[in-house]
Amino acid sequence: MPELFYEVYEREYANAWIDFGLIKEKSIADQVQMTVVAGTASAGVIAATTAAWAPYAAPFVFAAVYFLLSWINSEEKVKTAKALNDAKT
């Protein structure tokens, strides 16, 4: 009986690490995507305007776009978690 327990334990532990790795890779990809989009928007503000205030506005544009994308990503994760929870019950 203890052999069966350890066999199941090792299998589930390995599956948990595989799931963690997939989630980690998706999270890193999401962060890179949000950073690239926010950086592009910030650079676009500088490139599109020749006004003296453009370099000072760029960090605020970056922060606003990054915050918006983070909020949308967080809402998607909450919605997905709720759907998975509802599917289980």
pLDDT digits (tens, 9 = 90+) for 6-19: 888 899 999 899 98
Statement: residue 89 has pLDDT above 80: no
Q: Which residues contact 73 (CB under 8 A, 6 or more apart)?
A: 30, 34
Statement: residue 31 has pLDDT above 80: yes
Q: What's the mean per-residue pLDDT of the chain?
A: 91
The pLDDT value given to residue 55? 87
The pLDDT value given to residue 36? 97
